[in-house]
Amino acid sequence: MSPSTAPPPGSAQLRADCGRCFGLCCVVPAFAASADFAIDKPAGSPCPNLRADHRCGIHTELRQRGFAGCTVFDCFGAGQQVAQVTFGGRDWRDAPETLPAMAEAFAVLRPLHELLWYLAEAVALRPPADLRAELERARAETVTLTEGDPTQLRAVDVAAHRDRVNPLLSRASDTARAPQGVDRRGAHLLGADLRRVDLRRANLRGALLIGADLRGADLSRADVTGADLRGADLRGTDLRDVLFLHQAQVDAARGDTHTGLPPTLTRPAHWTALPLTPVRQPNRSTSPTRRGRRR
């Protein structure tokens, strides 16, 4: 089957399957001690929490133990592609000499798989036939790149390929958002009060929305490609019609049981621990010993 007619990876292949990976996201990247990571970890060095079976030893306590950054990382299925396809199931623990090449392959395949996810989302928007054909060609070309061996992957210019694909994704977004809303592409909106703001069909690509209050904002058909939603308050906000929203963005934000999510995304477990309404200030007559701990 030629690359132009090869079926693209399904949605399951673009989701992390840790059981088929070798813990590459816990080995390849470097961590810097910060609010997201409790320790410094050099690139190519296994995290001390990584067990011999390639599972995280503190997976259920990552946020409580200071590793919130781990909970929002998404390899888009690149980990199992490297482990099971590129290296044919050969474990780096059994063959340590393969780890540098495996790390190089992961660094290439992760952004390529992310592009495949965006291309699939763009096609699902039902663009005009000519644009759909271009998106399908770009998707087939990206799939072909992901199928290379370690030497071929090393030669891939990911930035150049992304630069060729991004205009197509932008066109798909512009078409789906017509008539287009406000353009806040790349805007610095850290901690911004955006409660009940009309952001319908807005361009929020690459916007920095860290800690922004988006409660009640209208985000219908808004494009959030690459938007940083770490700590953004999405309690009660309807995200069911947002464009290019992926799981890692949702995992990084704050939400509650009233936050509307697309059926393809999962409600993060830590959302259930968040209050649904603002905590009320204690009454002055309340005894200090009976006051609840405020968060």
Is the pLDDT assigned to residue 3 strictly greater than 90? no
Same domain assignment for residues 171 and 210: no
Q: Give the residue-averaged pLDDT of 227-251.
A: 96
Q: Pick from 147, 176, 205: which residue ends a domain?
A: 176
Is 64 among the domain residues? no
Residue 262: is its pLDDT beyond 70?
yes
What span, in angstroms and rounded, lies between the C-alpha atoms of 276 and 162?
40
For the whole model, what pTM was predicted?
0.86
More confident residue, 157 or 16: 157
- What is the full DSSP assignment across 163-207? HHHHHHHHHHHHHHTPSP--B-TT-B-TT-B-TT-B-TT-B-TT-
pLDDT > 70: percent of the chain: 88
Residues 112 and 244 in one domain: no
Going by pLDDT thresholds of 50, 70 and 90, the confidence category of residue 15 is confident
Same domain, 21 and 124: yes
Q: Is residue 43 part of a domain?
A: no
pLDDT attached to residue 13 = 80
Cβ burial, residue 219 (10 Å; 0-12/13-18/19+)? buried
Whether residues 78 and 185 fall in one domain: no
**DSSP 8-state class, residue 234:** -
Residue 128 forms part of a structural domain: yes
> pLDDT at position 204, please?
98
Residue 290 is assigned to a structural domain of this protein: no
Mean pLDDT of 85-99: 94
Mean model confidence pLDDT for the chain: 89
Choosing from 158, 176, 194, the residue where a domain stops is: 176
Q: Is 150 exposed, middle or buried (0-12, 13-18, 19+ CB in 10 A)?
A: middle
Mean pLDDT value across residues 128-148:
97
CA 169 to chain centre: 17
Residue 90 DSSP code:
-
- Is the pLDDT at 280 greater than 50? The verdict is no
pLDDT at 294 over 70: no
Confidence of residue 71 (pLDDT cuts 50, 70, 90): confident
143 in the same domain as 155:
yes
Residues 126 and 20 grouped into a single domain: yes
142 and 17 in a single domain? The answer is yes
H or E element: which one contains 79? helix 78-80
Give the per-residue pLDDT at 107: 96
Say if 263 falls within a structural domain.
yes
Residue 2, pLDDT score: 38
Do both 16 and 150 map to the same domain?
yes
pLDDT of residue 153 exceeding 80, the answer is yes
- DSSP code per residue over 108-137: HHHHHHHHHHHHHHHHHT---HHHHHHHHH
Rounded CA-CA distance 122/60 in Å is 34
- Average of pLDDT values for 225-231? 96
Residue 153 inside a domain? The answer is yes
Q: Please indicate, yes or no, if residue 137 is contained in any of the structural domains.
A: yes
Q: What is the CATH number for 257?
A: 2.160.20.80
Q: How many CB atoms lie within 10 A of CB 108?
A: 24
State how far Cα 195 lies from the chain centre.
Answer: 24
Question: Are 230 and 86 in the same domain?
Answer: no
Backbone angles phi, psi at 61, to 5 degrees: -125, 20
Rounded to an integer, the average pLDDT of 238-263 is: 95
- pLDDT score of 272 more than 80: no
Q: Which residues form the domain of 86?
A: 11-29+73-176
In a domain, 271, yes or no: yes
What does the pLDDT read at residue 288? 32
Does the pLDDT at position 56 exceed 60? yes
- What is the pLDDT averaged over residues 151-156? 96
Distance (Å, whole) CA 262 – CA 149: 35
Tally of domains within the chain: 2
Do both 156 and 232 map to the same domain? no
Percent residues over pLDDT 90 in the chain: 81
**What pLDDT does 1 receive?**
37
Q: What are the tens digits of pLDDT across the range 96-110? A: 999 999 999 999 999
Please report the pLDDT score of residue 106 as a whole number. 97
**Do 272 and 222 reside in the same domain of the chain?**
yes
Asked if pLDDT for residue 60 goes beyond 70, the answer is yes
Residue ending a domain, choose from 176, 201, 233 = 176
Q: Is the pLDDT of residue 295 over 80?
A: no
Do 118 and 16 share a domain, yes or no?
yes
